[in-house]
Structure 1
């Protein structure tokens, strides 16, 4: 059985992990509490995932520590208030540990939403913008994550299920007829036994490209289609559209370090460049957004891809504001 917590449970576990972490950094963390924390983490894999997520946020806040907290400085009328004639000696107040834990948990929860968007909360594996990563799962299957991808793994005794929370991944599935391999992306599913295929989760649909073998794909309405090697499918809530890719070798070229445009609209080409390139390319001329772009470009030289847009659309103007901000109009 899968031990993946429900959304409410995941939130509760994250709050619990934040509480442990804040107590650890309070300066008063006993050996007995350390053992309790270790026992809690070992009790369930979901506990340890929540702990790792809380630690990521804590590390991300390193640059904020030591800075003045907004609102901590006295107000102007308080700063120049006339002192009392007979000063009162006050005992420094030290908040109890539970108050510190609650405050730190609140700060961590807010920061988590900023630094790690919701897909990252549930992910077992992540890549950043422009990053790619290959890994082996417990069953021997190999997964290659593309840029800005989040993947969660939910294996049990009967099904090898993974969830593509965001981005794109290429799967080389270890054969096991008794335990099908299922990729869930939104409301879409890809069922396989031992194949090689690419899945890209987009805002309105999921795209699947099959390099070898056979897979079954299902949409949210449980409409099913069988995909064979060399075919691709675009899946949305109501429809599954199949097509043949020629040549099949052009599938998932990002694994080889290339970005290919095959007659795609300019707006889509810009969006794909933005998935990999640091900074932002802004398309400010909607009249040119549907112009078609073709070409093959290296992912480590996307400035050349931007410059080549003008060759395809001569009326295009490209302005480099900074190395990280390019305006196309």
Structure 2
């Protein structure tokens, strides 16, 4: 409060206090260096601020349809910003964001994020990795924007991957199975190092060393497979259990490449590449048109997500619009 009163006394605009207020302020003044510094200070001041920022940006990601009427091709595939004469459109975008935020608060859209904080034992923010050493000596490296919960008993070691991705290096114990659950999918260690990524509708398991058993929990398709080094499986699920399975072979050294801030996309889609980049970007990435389904192969530097997005756009001959420092749109030409 003292800071706000001092700001008013000095004739300055008070700093935003919530993630939504910061989103609107940064959208209105994307070139304000002082504002950006104040935002970075706010973001790093409290871990809860970063989690709230992730929540607001996840909500704002739903604005793709609204943007279609407010953005026009600028004839370039490089990162660009709207010129001053687009200020009215930025304001319109801010109003849309504000209205959506208010509606989300009213219906409790943020409650899943709040519940996640209560359920998780360990969480990471944007562009943040964390290595967790468990009581049995096993280690879990959390990718950015990820969360886990653990429960160990005398007869079993359970880990729930609640969000995101994690790389597991397990101390094998035949008397205490190590089981990772992601929705309807269970992965059991058979003495190994493996990676698991969870999205809204699927789970991807890839093995670097040793073997794991992957099973569909409550599945009508009866999934039960043993994966060895270099095996990868993507399991799609719905309310009835497993709905689809896709298998492929990868080079073992490519498994969990994100731990060195790189993403290998081999015979995948633009959507897959962008999904790998999102947790590293402090903002919103929106895909327009059919670009998400286009095939792609490449290696991308996750430590510089804007550079990575520009490389994806260049490879596809797509347009990349930087509406503000925090909002990027990739659009098929």
TM-score normalised by L of structure 1: 0.62
Structure 1 distance, partners of 2:167, 2:158, is: 15
Report the equivalent of 1:173. Answer: 170
Report the equivalent of 1:35. Answer: none
Structure 2 distance, partners of 1:191, 1:154, is: 15
Q: Using the TM superposition, give the Cα deviation of residue 293 of structure 1 relative to its aligned residue in structure 2, in angstroms.
A: 2.2
2:174 is paired with a residue whose SS is coil
Tell me which structure has the larger Cα radius of gyration: 1
Structure 1 distance, partners of 2:108, 2:242, is: 37
The correspondence for 1:261, drawn from 248, 252, 265, is 265
Structure 1 distance, partners of 2:290, 2:250, is: 30
Report the equivalent of 2:61. Answer: none
Q: Kindly indicate whether structure 1 or structure 2 has the higher relative contact order, using CA contacts under 8 Å at least 6 residues apart.
A: 2
**Are residues 263 and 143 of structure 1, via their aligned partners in 2, closer, same or farther at CA, if it must alter by over 3 Å?**
same
Matched, 1:219 2:216: yes
List per-residue Cα deviations over 1:151-190 (Å, max 9, x = no partner).
1111001001111111111110012111111111111101
The correspondence for 1:186, drawn from 177, 183, 186, is 183
Report the equivalent of 2:322. Answer: 320
Matched, 1:276 2:280: yes
Structure 1 distance, partners of 2:112, 2:242, is: 34
Report the equivalent of 1:305. Answer: 308
- The alignment covers a number of residue pairs equal to 224
Structure 1 distance, partners of 2:232, 2:290, is: 30
Matched, 1:289 2:286: no
Structure 2 distance, partners of 1:275, 1:228, is: 28
RMSD between aligned residues: 2.8
Q: Using the TM superposition, give the Cα deviation of residue 324 of structure 1 relative to its aligned residue in structure 2, in angstroms.
A: 1.3
TM-score normalised by L of structure 2: 0.61
The correspondence for 2:250, drawn from 243, 246, 250, is 246
**Are residues 246 and 275 of structure 1, via their aligned partners in 2, closer, same or farther at CA, if it must alter by over 3 Å?**
same
Report the equivalent of 1:234. Answer: 234
Structure 2 distance, partners of 1:174, 1:288, is: 42
Alpha carbons 1:129, 1:148 under 8 Å: kept: yes
List per-residue Cα deviations over 1:197-228 (Å, max 9, x = no partner).
11111111211111111211110225311111
Report the equivalent of 1:150. Answer: 147
Q: Which runs of 5+ in 1 are unaligned?
A: 1-54, 62-109
Report the equivalent of 1:91. Answer: none
Structure 2 distance, partners of 1:293, 1:208, is: 20
**Are residues 292 and 244 of structure 1, via their aligned partners in 2, closer, same or farther at CA, if it must alter by over 3 Å?**
closer
Report the equivalent of 1:203. Answer: 200
Q: Using the TM superposition, give the Cα deviation of residue 113 of structure 1 relative to its aligned residue in structure 2, in angstroms.
A: 5.0
Report the equivalent of 1:79. Answer: none
